[in-house]
Amino acid sequence: MQIKKEHQDRGQVTTRIKNKSKELLGYEITETELRFMVYVHYESTNNQSLAQRKIDAYEIPFFDKWIKQKYILGTMNNFKPSKKFWDILNELIYLAYVDIT
């Protein structure tokens, strides 16, 4: 029996992304959360703050959840991801944007 490969576009949450997020975070992420992760990753590297005018209201709960889980240290105006969360971001972003099938 041949296993059919799932098509993946850049930034798309596929079964393998869902499975990896369950392994790393304990839950399945959505495309909205994945794309917000990319923004947080970029801002972590460049500014260590988020421009609230660039964040939609439905993205704020993701940031709040990450703070509660201690994945993010600080506030939107001055934050840094924990090493664990940094590794999670990099793994998920790599799978979703670089290692596409």
Q: Which of 68, 60, 70 is nearest to 33 (CA)?
A: 60
Q: Identify the DSSP state of 52.
A: G
Q: Identify the DSSP state of 8.
A: -
Q: Which of 39, 47, 37 is nearest to 17 (CA)?
A: 37
pLDDT tens per residue across span 2-20: 555 666 777 788 899 999 9
Q: Where are the domains of the chain?
A: 15-98
pTM of the model: 0.86
Beta-sheet strands, E only, within the chain: 72-75, 78-81
pLDDT tens per residue across span 86-95: 999 999 999 9
What is the C-alpha separation between 54 and 71, in angstroms, rounded? Answer: 21
Say which CATH topology domain 15-98 has.
Arc Repressor Mutant, subunit A (1.10.10)
